Amino acid sequence: MLTVNQALGLVLENTPQKIQHLRKKLLDAQSFTLAERVVTDRDYPPFPRATMDGYALRLEDLEKENKFNLIGEIFAGDNWTQPEKIKTNSTVKIMTGAPVPECFDVVIKKEDSNNKENIVTIQSNKFKKWMNIARQGEDAEQGKLLGQQGTFIDDSFLTIAASLGYSDLYVLAPPLVSLISTGNEILPVGAPVLSHQIRESNSVTIRAMLKKFNAKIHKSWLIPDNPQMLAEKISECMNSDICIITGGVSAGEADFIPSTLKSLGVQEIFHKVMIRPGKPIWFGRKDDALFFGLPGNPVSARITFKIFVEPCIRKLLRLPAQKNYFFPILKTRTKMHDFEEYFRVKIINQDNQSYLQEIESNGSGDFINSLESEGIAIHPADKPELPQNSQTQFLFW
């Protein structure tokens, strides 16, 4: 059986990258992936900018003199025309955000000055060149690459794009995803259930998790354990980028997914992985369409989505892998098997330190307890024990 890393490697190897572009209004581009190069159109700051209200002066003058002739004032947004020749000991009053004229190289804040009849006295002797001036180009020079194909468009990037004057952005077309939930025992959310039946939740969970990538739902169906009906519906998903099927993926007598997929010409790339929960996961491909068969129970479906499907979507969208973090684990954790185990955790703060705390649960069918969880932590395959306080890898949901 494949390890998690081997299986994930095969998923990524078989994932093509999106090339179709869309053009989006800046604010509608949030959570898409950039498809163009974004480059500074000019220096940033674009002009030497006063960072305080005060007086602009020449350091050279200031080193000799503390009284200055006021020759003008500049507000933010003003286009002050500098006289051809500036006399020694001249100053201009300047507001935060205003451009500092070329001839000046210091701004003394107004609290350190005194203006009497247009004679400004500087009352501080702590000054140095460029004080209280954000120099042109110090944050980024013109032509600096700030975004490219594969940059995720988050709040920070939107600030940049607006500042650089992008009112639209080219983004990668979102992945087209089909969702098929299977199981005779499963009914749609709104229908009345009998005591031996349960309601469909996997497609809801997965749609919610897909939202952060702006993925587009192509088809979404709930289908009983019937090979003909499954084949008919799955064959309509051949143009999806990804088809995610939950349930029916194990080796039981009602587990028709692997055989149905094969009958439709989908090549099996792997079936079963050394992961807990989620061992029965199936992955295959037909041309550029990828097929995931995830176990049906809600916790397994969610964790295998996170570990295998989400990285696939990130690769499709040319995004880097999800960042993971390390936190010490609150209590020693042991396991008796050689599978990689993913367990739901919350993070608790004690004495100015954050710890991972495992969510108590009755196993992988217990979706109720997911409510408390912030994400999942990894118990590596080869470690029987994660000792108390040991740094443990963690992924936010």
**Interface with a second copy in residues 359-388 (CB under 8 A):** 361-363, 365-371, 373-374
Window 21-60: contact mask with a second copy (x via CB under 8 A): -----xx--x---------x-x-xxxx-x-x-x-------
- The answer to whether residue 270 forms part of the interface with a second copy (CB under 8 A) is no
Please list, in sequence order, all residues whose beta carbon lies within 8 angstroms of the beta carbon of residue 174, skipping any fewer than 6 positions away: 32, 213, 214, 215, 216, 317
Minimum CB separation of residue 16 from a second copy in Å reads 27
- Pick 212 or 331: Cβ nearer a second copy: 212
- Pick 14 or 115: Cβ nearer a second copy: 115
- Beta bridge partners, 103, equal none
Minimum CB separation of residue 57 from a second copy in Å reads 18
- Residue whose tokens read 């009284």: 67
Residues 183-242 contacting a second copy, CB under 8 A: 183-186, 189-190, 193-201, 204-205, 207-209, 211, 224-225
For the beta carbon of residue 233, count every other beta carbon within 10 angstroms: 20
Question: How does strand 275-276 pair with strand 340-350?
Answer: parallel
Minimum CB separation of residue 287 from a second copy in Å reads 30
Residues 115-154 contacting a second copy, CB under 8 A: 134, 138-140, 146, 154
d(CA 251, CA 264): 19
- The token duo for 147 is 């975004």
- Beta bridge partners, 120, equal 68, 115
Pick from 296, 314, 339, 343: which binds a second copy (CB under 8 A)? 296
Judged by CB under 8 A, the number of residues near a second copy is 98
Pair 319, 152: CB distance under 8 Å:
yes
Q: What is the DSSP string of 141-200?
A: -TT-EEE-TT-B--HHHHHHHHHTT-SEEEEEPPPEEEEEEE-TTEE-TTS---TT-EE-
Minimum CB separation of residue 76 from a second copy in Å reads 4
Minimum CB separation of residue 223 from a second copy in Å reads 12
Residues 303-342 contacting a second copy, CB under 8 A: 323-327
- Pick 88 or 324: Cβ nearer a second copy: 324
CA trace torsion 249, 396, 276, 361 (10° rounding): -100
Pick from 13, 84, 117, 155: which binds a second copy (CB under 8 A)? 155
Pick from 95, 264, 319, 381: which binds a second copy (CB under 8 A)? 95
